Amino acid sequence: MRPDTDFDIVIIGGGIVGLASAYKIAQRHPQVRVAVLEKEDRLASHQSGRNSGVIHSGLYYKPGSAKARTCSAGRKELIAFARQHKIPHDICGKIIVATDRRELPAMERILQNGLANGVEGLEKIGPERIRQIEPSVAGIAGLHVPSAGIIDFVAVAEQLAELLCEHRPENKVLNEHRVESFDRHDFYLNVRTSRRQISTRYVVNCAGLQSDRIAWMDRVDPGVRIVPFRGDYSDLSPEAAQKVRNLVYPVPDPAFPFLGVHFTRMLSGGVECGPSAVFSFEREGYGKTDFSLRDTWDALSYRGTWRLFLRHWRYGLGECVRTFSKKRLVKQLQRLVPSLTPEDLQPGSAGIRAQALGPRGELVDDFKIEATKNAIHVLNAPSPAATACLAIGDHICGIATERFQL
């Protein structure tokens, strides 16, 4: 490594994938000086800290896919990591519930995926067993997934950052460092941020919602566009929260990467329900009326966006209506918990999903990582990226070891 650069590797993005990658590189290559640049004033401010906090078991993903492999290995490592560092979590289990016979073939496919992916304890259950697990939930059939759970992903991110800096004093996690440009030289590059200029030999782009823009800064064509989808959650009132014990999911529509409106018990004891899945006019806009001209133009000037809209306009319209109509949302939730009323719902949080979209309107379902001689660009890291973060970190560390000749 060159001693005349500030760092050997700069990782852009202080979310859970960026921090896990930094942690794994530091573990495997203790001589390497690593910095993580985060544009916000705290870590895990976006996707990592604005999801439902679920530890996914791996039953949704195509056997053999990167999602399936990393989720299976990453889940086990994440739980061991949480136990070792006393991070709040609970392996509480979940049920996936079919409420209509037309959902049974999709549920069977999920069961077979889960069995192929080695999900422990997975079993098909009937209405009576559903009521034993979740007395207020109605369904004609279901899957019981005892290996699923909940965790504080922000605490995981903060622990990874702490361990990175403890590992070597020269390693840094720098908040409020928004990357603005790259200046390439023969054997190093300068990363210009909102605070300073940082020299490094290599870059790893884990910028999530901004990952395609960072790739363009590096003169790399990502081949996809990040199109944001906002998910709005509602909280159940304290009384209604007693109707849901743990995690309750519907059978997802196989045409979409979204899991549908579901119930999640939080570590704090409450229950949230949602999310919706609507196009967002701002990549980091968590309010229903938030708007960014740049983000809107980037999305709506991309032909892939319009091809997606034209193909799935009915679904999208339904999501928009449900986002602004409590009555429609309650109707959807009542398919799983019939006794819910509009009075049981309270405003909750919101998150943005960074969906990589191809030029033909195809939703990129699996992880997408592009590597050059001096950079690695993580262009799509959808769910279960948080669950799989340590396994993804291993994978990125392996690419860095080979490409950067560490």
The domain ranges of the chain are 7-48+154-224+365-403, 94-146, 225-363
**What does DSSP say about strands 189-193 and 179-184: parallel, antiparallel, or unpaired?**
antiparallel
pLDDT at 388 exceeding the cut of 70? yes
Q: What is the pLDDT of residue 224?
A: 96
Cα separation, 23 vs 201, whole angstroms: 18
Task: For the chain, give the mean pLDDT.
Answer: 93
pLDDT at 39 exceeding the cut of 70? yes
Q: What is the pLDDT of residue 260?
A: 80
Tell me the pLDDT tens digit for each residue of 336-373: 999 999 999 999 999 999 999 999 999 898 899 999 98
Tell me the pLDDT tens digit for each residue of 257-290: 567 889 999 998 899 998 888 899 999 999 989 9
Q: What is the pLDDT of residue 258?
A: 67
Q: Which of 352, 206, 211, 382 is nearest to 283 (CA)?
A: 352
pLDDT at 1 exceeding the cut of 60? no
Q: What is the pLDDT of residue 315?
A: 67
Cα separation, 183 vs 111, whole angstroms: 50
Residues 6+ apart with CB under 8 A from 290: 280, 281, 282
What is the architecture of the domain spanning 225-363? 2-Layer Sandwich (3.30)
Mean pLDDT of 90-113: 96
Mean pLDDT of 319-329: 72
Query: How many helices (DSSP H) and strands (DSSP E) are in the chain?
Result: 11, 20
Q: Which of 179, 174, 169, 232 is nearest to 205 (CA)?
A: 179
Q: What is the pLDDT of residue 255?
A: 65
Tell me the pLDDT tens digit for each residue of 121-158: 999 999 999 999 999 999 999 999 999 999 999 999 99
In this prediction, residue 324 has a pLDDT band, given cuts at 50, 70 and 90, of low
As a three-state string, the secondary structure of 62-113 is CCCCHHHHHHHHHHHHHHHHHHHCCCCEECCCEEEEECCHHHHHHHHHHHHH
Percent with pLDDT over 70 in the chain: 95
pTM of the complete model: 0.94
Q: What is the pLDDT of residue 288?
A: 87
Answer whether 392's CB lies under 8 Å from 70's CB: yes
Mean pLDDT of 377-387: 95
Residues 6+ apart with CB under 8 A from 326: 342, 345
CATH number among 3.50.50.60, 3.30.470.20, 3.40.50.2000, 3.40.50.620, domain 7-48+154-224+365-403: 3.50.50.60
